[in-house]
Structure 1
Amino acid sequence: MAEEVVIKEYTPEWLQEFEKEKAKILQTLQHNIVYIEHIGSTSVVGLPSKPILDIAVGVNHLDEADSFIEPLSKLDYEYVYKLEFPNRRFFRKGEWRKGTHHLHVYELTSDEWNNNLLFRDYLRSHPEKVLEYAKLKKHLASIYQEDRVTYTEMKAPFIQSVIELAKKR
């Protein structure tokens, strides 16, 4: 089954929704979280995005995420095992293939944690890159509108180039 790529214009409601969700997650998981961050395109003001809120939870040890499965289920997050991502734990809120929230658990020392923050922070401080990324995303979405996997793969070189720029700062 194809996964449609839908890109929406930026809305400040994404930040508001993150803040609400962050408060619920912090209350539910309490002292088990070291950090919680808004990542992905919805975390960058002005950047069009798929309307899926990406949340990163930072922990000291990835196996801590096993204890999150039950409490997060009370907030309607479902743990989704992903063999292809051994360095993170993934939870989805919303229907299968129509998730509204993606929660990623990473170790704070991991490249995945650091790269997500480097990418977000670089875009937040470089509006010209936001415009370039927005144009790329819209173009790819028009070509791969029924193929989210390929859409995502085709964005990877741009994302990696921004991470490399951010590491040089």
Structure 2
Amino acid sequence: MVEVVDHQPAWAERFSELRAAYARALDAAGAPYRSIEHVGSTAVPGLAAKPVVDVDVVVAEAGVDGATAALAGLGLVPRGDLGVAGRYAFGVPERFRPSNTYVVVDGSLALRNHLAVRDTLRSDAALRAEYDAVKRRAAAVAADIDEYLLLKSEVLGRILARAGLSDDERAAIADTNRRIATRGAHG
């Protein structure tokens, strides 16, 4: 069963704590980064979500190793790209839970996907309400997280279309999401 709950204002506060900890570690290590983004459904006020804060540490491609080392210094465990080009996942220690943390290459389709979903849902109340309903229904019937991801795929495609991602980009994202759900390799 997948837990989806009403939006919690505390998620923004938790992201701020994570951003500050990650920024301190990156700065101390001299690891350049472009931004640290709150992504996923917890980043969208009013949207129901799994109660896990998603964080993207955005770096130039050349900065992946430095950012990975800096986060590993905090106890995060590098897990590789898990089949998502340009996105590197981490296992997080208890003090950073519940969260998913990624180092994401600036300009990558993975980052554009995360930002497009977040920004579109923040600005489109009707689409946000529809996605909220789909997430709640999917959570109620899905046997596991993989089925939950598949049940959301149609509306996610429409969100990405509204955000202006091309047919090819949306197809690539859908294919990646299907592979992740099939393998159970989500971050």
Shorter-chain TM band: 0.7 to 0.9
Preserved CA contact (<8 Å) 1:42 1:48: yes
Structure 2 unaligned runs (5+)? 166-187
Q: Structure 1 83/20 Cα, relative in aligned 2: closer, same or farther at 3 Å? A: closer
CA distance in 2, matches of 1:5, 1:82: 23
CA distance in 1, matches of 2:68, 2:163: 33
Match of 2:64 in 1: 65
Please report how far the alpha carbon of residue 121 of structure 1 lies from its aligned counterpart in structure 2 after TM superposition: 0.8
Give the structure, 1 or 2, with the largest relative contact order (CA under 8 Å, sep 6 or more): 1
Preserved CA contact (<8 Å) 1:92 1:100: no
Task: Tell me whether 111-120 or 70-79 shows the greater mean CA deviation.
Answer: 70-79
Match of 1:139 in 2: 137
Residues 93-141 of structure 1, C-alpha deviation per residue, up to 9 Å, x if partnerless? 256xxx6111122211212211211111111011111111111011011
Q: Which of 113, 126, 129 is equivalent to 1:128?
A: 126
Q: When the two structures are aligned, how many residues end up with a matched partner?
A: 160
Please report how far the alpha carbon of residue 82 of structure 1 lies from its aligned counterpart in structure 2 after TM superposition: 4.1
1:46 equivalent to 2:46? Answer yes
Preserved CA contact (<8 Å) 1:10 1:47: yes
Q: Percent identity?
A: 28
Residues 34-92 of structure 1, C-alpha deviation per residue, up to 9 Å, x if partnerless? 1111000000001111111101111110x532333443234342212344223210113
Q: Structure 1 131/94 Cα, relative in aligned 2: closer, same or farther at 3 Å? A: farther
Match of 1:101 in 2: 99
Preserved CA contact (<8 Å) 1:94 1:100: no
Q: Which of 159, 162, 165 is equivalent to 1:165?
A: 162
CA distance in 2, matches of 1:24, 1:149: 30
TM-score by length of 1: 0.86
TM-score by length of 2: 0.78
